[in-house]
Structure 1
Amino acid sequence: MTITNTAKCILNQVPIFVHAPVNILITELQNQLALMQAKLDVLQEDKVEMQARIDHLLAELKLSKSQKYGKKSEKAPRGTFNETEQHKSTEPPKHHKKGKQTLAAHLALPLIWHIQVSAVH
Structure 2
Amino acid sequence: MAKITYIEHNGTEHVVEVANGMTVMEGARDNSIPGIEADCGGACACSTCHVYVHPDWVDRLPGKDSMEEDMLDFAYEPDTQRSRLTCQLKVTDALDGLVVQLPEKQI
What TM-score comes out, normalization by structure 1 length? 0.13
Report the structure, 1 or 2, having the larger strand content. Answer: 2
